[in-house]
Amino acid sequence: MTRSKQARRTTIYDLASLAGTSASAVSAVLNGNWKKRRISSQLAEKITRLAEEQGYATNMQASLLRREKSHIIGMIVPKYDNRYFGSIVERFEDMARARGLFPIITCTRRDPQLEIEAARTMLSYQVDCLISTGATDPDRITEMCSAAGVRSINLDLPGTLAPSVISDNFEGARELTRKILLNCERQLQEKKPLLFIGGRGSDHNTAERIRGFRQAHSELNVSIGEENILPCGYAPEKAEKALDELVARGVSPAKGMFVNSTISLEGVMRWLRRAGPIDSQDVVIGCFDWDPFAALLGHHIEMVRQNVPAMLEQMFEMIESGQTKPVVVQVPPIMPDEEGLLISREGELKAEMAYRNAG
């Protein structure tokens, strides 16, 4: 009798009884449709917690594991509106199909709740592996995947519980900062501290880029203060507002700028358009991102291009090798050469693997 009880799987009716609601409400929450049903966030959270406690997702996946693999691979991305994430999605689809996998991709807009809902839905589609790209809380997603018996890999932003593939943000930022400082010295006859603008100081990539930014200033004996670092977020409006606020405090923005994405660059260029003609040579810009249309903006803009093909090759190699340890592979970005042209460093790829404790 005890063995029978232990073997019995939790159903949506069990969850409905525990949550004090209907089976249809439970189904709507588990399928990610609870907002359309006007179910309260409190009830949705309660049902989700009960499902995790009762191992509901695990039971669904256990049934799958007794059958053949689904050959479905999922990817969560934060944005579609820049070339970096767009190129990740496009190349990921091609590489997945070339391996006989069916890719499912969804955009979560850097919203932690949307990321969790997307991960839960991906698991309901019985994906064989879930790729978290730029996730705000990759470890939470990994925990959900582990409970369901599904592999997960982090791309762009690292986690501590699953393998991760990211750009070498520190070294890329250090080299880009050096380039901007030297350009300022050559074009403006001054080597003064740059302005760092864009990104979120709480995420790994921005923190590493700020560290590289500081290191380059130190190596070239240029003092840098906190007022020159503005991790104001990625939205163009936030970059524009940050520059307005800087001026309102009576501070003139530096003539050399390190812009932390093409999304932030849009806001910087809007601000420059209001401040004066954008074809002037009074501002030197470097951007940790890449878009070919930047050459049409009228400024000589140095750009770092993240090496998406190499990053995805490393990611699929992890999948095919069965890698599960929480290693971090750092892929060097593609840097501008002395003529401002992009040169590939794939030949000197230094995939540094930093082993971390899962605990």
Q: How many structural domains are present in the chain?
A: 3
pLDDT tens sequence across 127-178: 999 999 999 999 999 999 888 889 999 999 999 999 999 999 999 999 999 9
- CB of 246 closer than 8 Å to CB of 225: no
pLDDT tens sequence across 216-253: 999 999 999 999 999 999 999 999 999 999 999 999 88
Q: Which helix (H) or strand (E) holds 119?
A: helix 112-124
319 within domain boundaries: no
The whole domain housing 50 covers 12-65
In a shared domain, residues 29 and 85: no
What would you report as the CA-atom Rg of the chain, rounded to the nearest whole angstrom?
23
Q: What Cα–Cα distance (Å) separates residue 64 from each residue in 67, 85, 105, 127, 272? A: 5, 31, 21, 10, 56
- 217: domain CATH number? 3.40.50.2300
Separation between Cα atoms, residue 7 and residue 5, nearest integer Å: 5
346 within domain boundaries: no
In a shared domain, residues 185 and 290: yes
In a shared domain, residues 82 and 119: yes
Q: Which helix (H) or strand (E) holds 44?
A: helix 41-53
- CB of 122 closer than 8 Å to CB of 115: no
38-63 mean pLDDT: 75
252 within domain boundaries: yes
Q: What percent of the chain has pLDDT over 90?
A: 61
Whole-structure pTM over 0.85, yes or no? no
- 21: domain CATH number? 1.10.260
In a shared domain, residues 200 and 215: yes
